[in-house]
Structure 1
Amino acid sequence: MVLLAEVVATSREVAATRSRKAKTTAIADLLGRLDPEEVRPTTALLAGELPGGRAGVGWSTLSSLSADPAPEPTLTIAEVGTAIDAVRAISGSGSTQRRAAELTALLGRATADEQQFLVRLFGGELRQGALEGVVVEAIATAAGVPADAVRRAFMLSGRLPATAEAALRGGEPALAEFGLEVGRPVRPMLASPADDLGSALAGAVTVEYKLDGARIQVHRDEDEVHVYTRTLREITRSVPELVELVRGLDCRSVVLDGETLALDDGGRPRPFQETMSRFGSQDPRDLLLHPYFFDCLHLDGTDLVDRPLRDRLDALAKVAPQHRVPAVLTPSAEQAAALFDEALAAGHEGVVVKDLDSGYAAGRRGRAWRKVKPAHTLDLVVLAAEWGHGRRSGYLSNLHLGARDPDGGPPIMVGKTFKGLTDELLAWQTEEFQRRETHRDDWTVHLAPDLVVEIELDGVQTSPRYPGGVALRFARVLRYRPDKDAASADTIEAVRALLPGG
């Protein structure tokens, strides 16, 4: 039986080192001591997540809680899980007060260190997306299985706790039992930045538009259709036009990866925020979404995730040719450049160059998919914001920006910016940031590190001012990315790669 105190101690050990190997060893040691029923909740806690998902508790509630700490650690993982489930089950009139009472009772059974851990856990402050990669490696170490087997099972299950349970229960054979299941979202494959189009064109590739839209994954089994976002959130009820379109394809079952966006009357993409606004609405009004698919992971009973991209594109051409993202197969340098110019002229971001021999490797920014844009952009985490002056008095303005630590630590600050913020964005972020705040001082409101913003910049320079040793040059806000979480933010390595000569 493992106590919460052991998880807290391991979490502290992981946070105290920059060594990925040390983090992996610490987590693996704890996983190796767990009883079978403790694996799922403990894995979630180690990844900074609430077992079972969010519990509907905001920072306003958490900041109002007060309980004397217990003198000695007694809370077990099972007891913490039961308490979290009880908080999650509360709804209806007076739910805020009843959640606060339940949380106060839980904190009253926790030591001071455990209290701090639980408050940060409920507030989302422990949820560092990069920690997933470390936990995956720790699961492999604890179970004595290859890390690639764990990654593949996690890709297909979408659930780290379930993956850990399988690995520790049955090893590699149990992990191999995870397959693509139509109706269960797959963690998406990601593209890494390329310096330029020429350097990305090595080998047999396809070059396709990089659309200024939102990532979607659609699953169909006969007449049943599900639509998911990049973060695996289901939005089926909000996008009836996509459901009907997929239901009309000539197939029995299919899983498609792609993007969707709203177009204006001239066929150009509407602002990204307008596309994203549909994901939280059940009323499409006049703003219709258009899908553009670029991958097919399953078709009529055949799973394709392990097939080379060229085979998956053949399947896509068979099932949805009219909805294929514009692309050129095995182009010459001149053809690739022409498609790049065409994409920009149509109002899109650039192109993605993809290796035709590559399998579908979810969640990893390798070299199989390379994105090429005309300007440098980074997806960074908002760490804090400073109150503005002059015309911006009363608004949270100057953003503190962090890059993802690939070794599972907290985001690494790389700069600040107040440029590119419209009056509308200033008003929105002032309200939104205070809902996400963890603490503040006279000039700055600090946030839970889970809000991603897309930043355009002229480059990067070395600087001792920030922990990462680099600073952004002439950074300006392009837009917020509600379709992404901290796990999707760019790493400190991606920032450093923009250094001159990098």
Structure 2
Amino acid sequence: MQLHDVVTASARLAATRSRNAKTAVLADLLSGAAADELAAAVAFLTGQPTQGRIGVGWRTLTALRTPPATSAELTVSEVDAALGAVAGTSGSGSASRRSEKLHALLARATADEQDFLLRLLTGELRQGALEGVMVEAVAAAAGVPAEAVRRAFMLSGRLPAAAHAAMAGGVAALREFRIELGRPLRPMLASPADSLTGATAELGAVAVEYKLDGARIQVHRDGDDVRVYTRTLREVTDHVAELAELVRDLPCRAVVLDGETLALTDDGRPRPFQETMSRFGSTREEQVRQLLLRPYFFDCLHLDGADLLDAPLRERQAALRTVAADHLVPGERDPRDPDEVLAASLRDGHEGVVVKALDSPYAAGRRGRAWLKVKPVHTLDLVVLAAEWGHGRRRGFLSNLHLGARDPDGGPPIMVGKTFKGLTDELLTWQTETFPRYESHRDGAAVFLRPALVVEIELDGAQVSTRYPGGVALRFARVVRYRPDKEPSDADTIDAVRALAPGGR
């Protein structure tokens, strides 16, 4: 397959907002891919090389442009191999050698191919072929149910691998995917609910658990080998030795647990979220002693050889109690008074509650309606699109933020408002120092950023507005905190913002 074919498909994807049209474009392309090119084609069109990060920064990449080739000759396999060689370059002088290899690759690419590759490698490839659309396209090309592809993807964590299995072996090959100890799964996510009464009425028999103000963790144990992963599937075992030691002492041989961890004050209340997150980047003994992390588990996905993803929550909770009874998230099953659980969570310094259907399976990587979160205030996780230079006391600081919601069809984030409220002097300094690393361009008083940073915003609601392209604007938005544990793909969608506007649901 020629790289030109992938670039052409990418352009066609960017030219339409129709999910069905995107799926058709991708299915047609994948149907013509050779077995050894399929994984790379899927990876490229979902915005990430098969190698992940290749060790070359954004500024270096943008400086590597070279006069383009006049004819399209590069194949997908050649590009994948070249990127593999770049990623595998290490040792003294490796930065220079990586740049040389990339320069040679770009010199063989046409102008359109160069643009595609640079956007791919800088994380700016936003043509709508994100995971949900690609799952449907793989299913259509292979003639298999989309749910079978989605399940294999979530179990493997690798959409190219799921695509290869679907095209090569159909449903039977997809069913071979299992939980693999030491390979993290994408976490199941909760959707917002309007009220606790509405959430419990919608789900029937439920567990109501504290929504902790901590960091999501997933732990894998295989004998004495314990691995700890963050929400984004980054391994942090070396930074959280106390968690690994605790899991190593649980009464089982093999287990996969889902939960949260947080640092507590002396009186048992949660410390600020930023303090908990700071532990994931430090192994300094003094900080470890001052900020010991405590785990709170709420799900068991595997226990001693048995995968539990498809078991109902009530059975997964029973398994959880057999191995981690002393480390469960607070809450109640079928509580007589759900409001009291919510009140207790807030009194203890947490965010609210999560209401979970007891008969629901674990939908890895999905944000469905089986888990509903209830919080006393509206918050959204949004992508920082730009920041404006401040005035008066804030002169010299990047201040007023441009905020975007995620496009569920894979397009670029959709702007929904601005705010400078809630920005402390510390945050203003951090933004001014950090944002230039993500800068894409400047326009007047604004510095525009590549979509990379997620910020949690508190707001009174939303209102219909023609000012922004999504037709909706935030009301009285203020910054709560940045979310280094989340990627732009974890941000709330434009549909979630619209739902907060009058008549939005």
TM-score category, normalised to shorter length? over 0.9
| Preserved contact between residue 301 and residue 309 of structure 2 (Cα < 8 Å) | yes
Q: How does 1:289-328 map to 2 (within 5 A)?
A: 289-328=293-332
CA distance in 2, matches of 1:359, 1:107: 47
Cα 1:390/1:100, change in 2 over 3 Å? farther
Aligned residue for 1:150? 149
Aligned residue for 1:219? 220
Residue 252 (structure 2) pairs with residue 248 (structure 1): no
Tell me whether 86-95 or 262-271 shows the greater mean CA deviation: 86-95
| Preserved contact between residue 459 and residue 478 of structure 2 (Cα < 8 Å) | yes
Q: How does 1:203-218 map to 2 (within 5 A)?
A: 203-218=204-219
Deviation at 1:433, TM superposition (A): 1.4
CA distance in 1, matches of 2:217, 2:360: 21
Which structure is richer in relative contact order (CA contacts within 8 A, separation 6 or more)?
1
Tell me whether 2-11 or 388-397 shows the greater mean CA deviation: 388-397
Tell me whether 428-437 or 321-330 shows the greater mean CA deviation: 428-437
Where structure 1 has 5 or more consecutive residues not aligned to the other structure, the ranges are: none
CA distance in 2, matches of 1:470, 1:458: 13
| Preserved contact between residue 130 and residue 405 of structure 1 (Cα < 8 Å) | no
| Preserved contact between residue 384 and residue 401 of structure 1 (Cα < 8 Å) | yes
Aligned residue for 2:398? 396
CA distance in 1, matches of 2:366, 2:167: 23
Task: Give 3-state SS (helix, strand or coil) of 2:219's partner.
Answer: strand
| Preserved contact between residue 220 and residue 252 of structure 1 (Cα < 8 Å) | yes
Aligned residue for 2:496? 494
Aligned residue for 1:440? 442
Deviation at 1:210, TM superposition (A): 0.3
Cα 1:458/1:326, change in 2 over 3 Å? same
Aligned residue for 1:279? 280
Paired residue type of 2:480: L
Deviation at 1:389, TM superposition (A): 1.9
Deviation at 1:127, TM superposition (A): 6.0
Task: Give 3-state SS (helix, strand or coil) of 2:355's partner.
Answer: strand
CA distance in 2, matches of 1:442, 1:110: 33
Per-residue CA distance 1:38-78 (angstroms, 9 max, x = gap): 01111110100122111122222123223001111111111
Deviation at 1:6, TM superposition (A): 1.1
Per-residue CA distance 1:337-382 (angstroms, 9 max, x = gap): 0110111111111000000000001122111000000000001111
Question: What is the number of equivalent residue pairs in this alignment?
Answer: 499
Per-residue CA distance 1:133-188 (angstroms, 9 max, x = gap): 11111111111100110111111111111111111111110000001112111111
Task: Give 3-state SS (helix, strand or coil) of 2:257's partner.
Answer: strand
Q: How does 1:85-124 map to 2 (within 5 A)?
A: 85-124=84-123
Tell me the percent identity. 69
| Preserved contact between residue 58 and residue 435 of structure 1 (Cα < 8 Å) | no
Residue 11 (structure 2) pairs with residue 12 (structure 1): yes
Task: Give 3-state SS (helix, strand or coil) of 2:418's partner.
Answer: strand
Deviation at 1:477, TM superposition (A): 0.8
The TM-score with structure 1 as length reference comes to 0.97
CA distance in 1, matches of 2:29, 2:123: 22
Cα 1:86/1:159, change in 2 over 3 Å? same
CA distance in 1, matches of 2:405, 2:40: 28
Paired residue type of 1:172: V
Paired residue type of 2:296: Y
| Preserved contact between residue 389 and residue 399 of structure 2 (Cα < 8 Å) | yes
Residue 257 (structure 2) pairs with residue 228 (structure 1): no
Task: Give 3-state SS (helix, strand or coil) of 1:7's partner.
Answer: helix
Aligned residue for 2:165? 166
Aligned residue for 2:407? 405
Per-residue CA distance 1:302-348 (angstroms, 9 max, x = gap): 1110000000000011110110000110113xx21011011111111
Cα 1:295/1:251, change in 2 over 3 Å? same
Paired residue type of 2:481: R
Deviation at 1:289, TM superposition (A): 0.7
CA distance in 2, matches of 1:164, 1:383: 32
| Preserved contact between residue 22 and residue 129 of structure 2 (Cα < 8 Å) | no
Aligned residue for 1:48? 47
Paired residue type of 2:258: D
Per-residue CA distance 1:168-222 (angstroms, 9 max, x = gap): 1111100000011121111110000000100000210000000000100000011
Paired residue type of 2:317: L
CA distance in 2, matches of 1:370, 1:130: 28
Deviation at 1:467, TM superposition (A): 0.8
**What value does the CA root-mean-square deviation take over the aligned residues?**
1.3
Paired residue type of 2:414: I
Paired residue type of 1:328: E
Cα 1:349/1:224, change in 2 over 3 Å? same
Deviation at 1:128, TM superposition (A): 7.9
Paired residue type of 2:401: L
Paired residue type of 2:223: E
Paired residue type of 1:315: A
Paired residue type of 2:356: K
Q: How does 1:121-132 map to 2 (within 5 A)?
A: 121-126=120-125, 131-132=130-131
Tell me whether 171-180 or 63-72 shows the greater mean CA deviation: 63-72
CA distance in 2, matches of 1:452, 1:374: 21
Task: Give 3-state SS (helix, strand or coil) of 1:201's partner.
Answer: helix
Paired residue type of 1:386: E
Paired residue type of 1:160: L
Tell me whether 430-439 or 225-234 shows the greater mean CA deviation: 430-439
CA distance in 2, matches of 1:322, 1:457: 36
Per-residue CA distance 1:284-304 (angstroms, 9 max, x = gap): 242111100000011111111
